[in-house]
A and B are shown apart, each in its own frame.
Chain A
Amino acid sequence: MRTKRLRMVMSAMLVGALAAGCSGGGQEETPQETGPVELTFWTWAPNMDKIAAVWNAAHPDIKVTVSKQAGGDEAAAKFLTAAKAGNAPDLVQAEYQMLPSFVAAEAVADIKGEVAGVRDQFSDGIWNLVTLGTDGVYGLPQDSGPMMFYYRTDLFTKYGIAVPKTWDEYAAAARTVHAKDKTVYLGGFSSKDPGWFAGLSQQAGAKWWSITGEAWKVGINDDATKKVADFWGGLAKDGVVDTQAPWTPEWNAALNGGKIMSWASAVWAPGVLSSNAPDGKGKWAIAPLPQWSAGENYSGFWGGSSIAIAEGSKHKKAAAQFASWLNTDAKALDLLIKEAAIYPAAKSGQNLMTTAPEYFANQADFWQQATNIAGTARGFTFGPNVNVAYSAYKDAFDKALQNKSSFTDALGAMHDATVADMKKSGSPLASL
């Protein structure tokens, strides 16, 4: 009898404990009446915790806790999933191209009212990236990634080529270099970096998405982008540009060992070069990107991100205060530059950049050049399904590289996948 009762009690306890264990996580969070406001912040910028500590010391009523994230597509997916599950952070670093999908998923808040005071700190082009061309404001610009041409000065001399002013000169130089040494390439085409391709297309004047009235217009296979795709397709087909997947130890070794002599990259490249190609220190320099026609002067954007506030945040106002401080306050901008190696989006921040990065010690006017180039960069509106387009880019161009098939077709596949996705979700599409 006794053992039976004991068993019953024990199993009852087990069930009870289990139920308690399951409900433990679901308790309603009561807003704190007293004590500081607690904010969580997802970012992948290095040393952001140090910058938050400076804010926390000066603002005892608003405490920001930084949670370091991995960047890339995964970061966006993680945030969207967290928002759907109702446990998103208060603040999140969002790449510009991901912002529209965050807005479409109602994961980030319109903070127009909270940040009206800092509007004139940013140029119109950059501001457009956080308003998405609408009346709302969905984040504050943090950094931008104007593209420029990085090249090895010593190797350019060795192979007797000049810095290409136009893409035609670039193609000729690519052929010359590869003819002289089969193991060396002037540069590479990356099927893994849709953002890179987007930036080069922007330079050519592409408009992948635009809004006409109440409808989206998709122009991924517009003439400007076709021109860019054909250009790289030709070079890839002839094998005169490197087509290996970048961001691998193999690629690092090629960059470090001078097997890749130049890189059309963005203003954040010094950080990449100094860690991935340490041997090249003092040998690289920057110039504007090659142009499509002589006399033109354009660039595009690769990367760059904003700080957005989650729709689910209970402290939007406090979060907006922190975001404004982080991206416009002189002290914060100085910290962003020094600690996080960020090229700030705020106009005042760009004046703070005086000393060239250590890796570019040989080019004293590095920031002056960068700022001039940044002024020539043009962007386009990002649509609500950049994630779909970018994923299609990787698949289509991977395949084109493998099969040595037409880049124009790959571009067409990317365009069709993007349009099909928008049709499926019922987005109104303007006819082309």
Chain B
Amino acid sequence: MTTPTRGARADRAGATPYLYLAPAVVLFTLFIAAPIGYTAYLSLRRVQFSGLGLGKKSRTEIFVGLDNYRTAVADGEFWAGWLRVLGYAGLVLALMLGLALVFALLLDSARVRLARFSRIAIFLPYAVPGVVATLLWGFLYLPSLSPIHATLRTFGFENVDLLSPSTVMFSMVNVAIWGGTGFNMLVLYTQLRAIPRDYYEAARIDGAGELAIALRVKVPILAPALVLTTVFSIIATIQVFTEPMTLRPISNAVSSTWSPLMKVYRDAFVTGDLYSAAATSLVIAAISVVPSLLFMRLVRRQAFGEER
């Protein structure tokens, strides 16, 4: 093999990185950038019927500027949906992450028995698809056949409706916690196992008990993992869709616009207005980014301070 000239070598070095990048760029363009671009394009248009809207060529697509955005933002139901989702997300975040942290710390402490079994038992619900989990719980929420209601009745609570307007949100929160705690616990637990045991020994020598070790040593070290799980959970709960959508057929208390994403689904696939759905989904995307960014900014110093 002959040694190539300097120029050829530089050319080759110039092309190679792009070739490496190409798969990622192609995938990104095809599956992320292009659909977002198309969504943005659709959001500026709508269908215009001429005549009765039946028969050929009675349907044309026209450019309407920001009309769809104006309608989306002016819809009171849209903002009511956001309120419901904020309440839901607040509850899920606090309870699910709290439980995940407690379980992770318990499993990590030396004294717990049946650690492996408990770990799997807590994680297992995560492996159940959301729709299945919600259907399962949904049937348990229906009174006549449910062990939940049977139990409530033995304690004197007759006629508790778990799918009424005032309770249905808690019923959904319950499903989300049941399904999500395991995953978050596992992330935190894995991080805990990576902490050198010497730290605990040092703490013990300084006279710290298990509780003090958990609160003063483990939790601060867990901070980056907690941030990670919180951000993921914020994004997931804001986009809540499966639980309300699956409970809707069995409850009179879940409207077709219960969460903002459900409104998008209704517009796109039930009432056939892809254009409004496109505009609304872009508004949702913009709004969803805000809490995540705010949270990251808030905790950046505490969580990642030592890395900077």
Q: A: which residues have CB within 8 A of B?
A: 1-2, 4, 7-8, 11-12, 14-15, 18-19, 22, 73-74, 77, 80-81, 84, 100-101, 103-106, 110, 132, 134, 136, 191-192, 211, 214-216, 243-245, 247-250, 253-254, 384-385, 387-388, 391, 394-395, 398-399, 401-402, 421, 424-428
Q: Does B282 reach chain A (CB closer than 8 Å)? A: no
Q: Does B23 reach chain A (CB closer than 8 Å)? A: yes
Residues of B within 8 A of A426 (CB): 48-50
B271's partner among A15, A214, A385 (CB-CB below 8 A) is A385
Count of A-B contacts with CB under 8 A?
131
Interface residues on B, range: 35 or more
A192 touches B249 (CB 8 A): yes
Residues of B within 8 A of A211 (CB): 52
CA of A211 to CA of B52, assembled, Å: 8
CA of A214 to CA of B52, assembled, Å: 6
Given contacts A2-B1, A15-B23, A77-B269, whether A245 and B249 have CB atoms under 8 Å apart is yes
A248 touches B142 (CB 8 A): yes
Residues of B within 8 A of A395 (CB): 255-257
Given contacts A132-B54, A428-B52, whether A80 and B272 have CB atoms under 8 Å apart is yes
Chosen A-B contacts, 26 in total, with CB atoms closer than 8 Å, are: A12-B19, A14-B23, A15-B19, A15-B26, A18-B26, A22-B30, A73-B270, A77-B269, A101-B272, A103-B54, A104-B49, A105-B272, A106-B59, A134-B54, A214-B52, A248-B142, A248-B249, A250-B142, A385-B272, A391-B271, A395-B257, A401-B252, A402-B165, A402-B253, A426-B48, A426-B49
CA of A73 to CA of B23, assembled, Å: 39
Given contacts A100-B54, A192-B249, whether A388 and B255 have CB atoms under 8 Å apart is no
CA of A77 to CA of B271, assembled, Å: 8
A245's partner among B52, B252, B270, B274 (CB-CB below 8 A) is B252
CA of A74 to CA of B52, assembled, Å: 25
Given contacts A77-B269, A104-B53, A387-B270, whether A394 and B256 have CB atoms under 8 Å apart is yes
Q: Does B251 reach chain A (CB closer than 8 Å)? A: yes
Residues of B within 8 A of A134 (CB): 52, 54-55
Least CB distance, A40 to chain B, in whole angstroms: 21
Residues of B within 8 A of A245 (CB): 249-252
Residues of B within 8 A of A192 (CB): 249
Residues of A within 8 A of B59 (CB): 104-106
With both beta carbons as reference points, the residue of chain B lying nearest to A135 in the complex is identified as B55
